[in-house]
Amino acid sequence: MSHAHHQHSRHDHAPHDARHGERRLLLAVSLTTVALLVEAVGGWLSGSLALLADAGHMLVDALALLLAWGGARVARRPPDARRSFGYARMEVLAGYTNSLAQFALTSWIAYEAVERLASPVAINSGLMLIVAIAGLVVNVLVLRVLGGHDHDDVNAAGARLHVIGDLLGSLAAVAAALLIRNVGWLAADPVLSIFVALLILGSAWKLLRRSAHILLEGTPDDVESGAVAAAIEGETGIVGVHHVHVWQLAGGRRIATLHARVPDMAQSGAALSAIQGVLRERFGVAHATIQIECDAGCHDEPCQQHAH
C-alpha cells in the first residue's frame, strides 16, 4: 500500500510583492530607454565606441527587462490542466534568454573594439564625459529601483546582470573620456569596452549555467540526495529512504519526491508529518510527493507493493 502526499507552502502562490516587483521592472525599462537614447545620440555625435556600446547594451537590456517583466507576470498564472505546476518556470526561461542575449552583445562590442584599435577615430571627449556621467547616474538609479533578489531567482538575477553591465559600461565610458581628455589616449575607448565585455561575459556564463541547471531539473547546489535521505532516517526513525529527487521549479521553489519505508503501515501518518517537517525545515522544500512503503518484514501483502 502506498500513500502519495503533496505538501504546499505559501510560496506556491505569488506573494503580494510580486506585483510590486513587476512595477519596478517597468520603471527600470523606462529609465533604461531614456538613458540609451541619450547615450546613442551622444556616442554618435562624439564618436565614442564606449558610449555606442553602452547604448547598444542598454537597448538589449531594455528588451531584457521587458522579458523579465513578462516572465514574472506570466509566472503568476495559476496551474491548469496542461501545466499542472503552473507557469513559474517562465522566470527561468527569461533568465536563460537574457544570458544568451549578453553573449551576442559582448561579441558585437569586441568586434567593434578591434576595428577601432586598428583604425582609431577622433572623439569629442567633453561631450562623451557629460553623456557618460548622465548614463552612470541613471544606471545607479535603475539598480536601486530593482533592489535585491533571492539567490535562486534567476529572472531577477538576469535583470540585475543587465543593469550591472550597463553600470560597468558607463564607468568605462567615464574613464575612457577622462583618459582621452587628459592623456590623449584614443585607444582607451575600445580597450575599456573590451574589458567591460569580458566582465559581462563572465557573469552571463554563470547565469546561463544556473538557469540551465534549473531547466534540466538539477539538484539545488546546497542539497544532496544522500543527505536528504540520511536526515529523514536520522530524525524520524524511518527504516529506509530511497528514490530521492530534489529540484527547483523556479525562484527557489524546491520540489521533492521520495519513497520511505516504515515497519508498520499504522505509522504512515506520523511518518508523513515527520518527513514534511524535515524537508521544510532542513531543505526548504515547498512541495513534496512522498510514497510510504511497508518494510520487508511486513506480512500484509498489499503493503509490500513498491511504485516505480
> What are the grid coordinates assigned to 40, written together?
546613442
Average pLDDT over residues 165-179: 85
CB within 8 A of 190, min separation 6: which ones?
A: 49, 50, 112, 113, 114, 116, 117
| Helical residues (DSSP H) of the chain, grouped into ranges | 17-46, 49-75, 90-118, 125-146, 154-182, 188-215, 225-236, 268-283
* pLDDT for the residue 149: 53
Residue type, 156: A
How many other C-beta atoms are found inside a 10 Å radius of the C-beta of residue 111?
11
Query: What's the mean per-residue pLDDT of the chain?
Result: 79
304 has pLDDT over 60: no
Helix or strand or coil: residue 241?
strand
User: What gap in Å lies between CA 105 and CA 103, rounded to an integer?
Assistant: 5
Domain ranges of the chain: 14-215, 219-304
- Kindly indicate the confidence band of residue 13, based on its pLDDT and cuts at 50, 70 and 90: very low
User: What gap in Å lies between CA 242 and CA 295, rounded to an integer?
Assistant: 12
Query: Looking at domain 219-304, which CATH architecture does it have?
Result: 2-Layer Sandwich (3.30)
The model's pTM is: 0.69
Average pLDDT over residues 225-241: 86
Top mean-pLDDT range of 59-63, 175-179, 195-199: 175-179
214 has pLDDT over 90: no
Query: Looking at domain 14-215, which CATH architecture does it have?
Result: Up-down Bundle (1.20)
- Kindly indicate the confidence band of residue 240, based on its pLDDT and cuts at 50, 70 and 90: confident
14 has pLDDT over 50: no
Average pLDDT over residues 203-230: 87
- Kindly indicate the confidence band of residue 246, based on its pLDDT and cuts at 50, 70 and 90: very high
* pLDDT for the residue 302: 43
Closest CA to 49 of 132, 137, 140: 132
User: Same CATH fold, 219-304 and 14-215?
Assistant: no
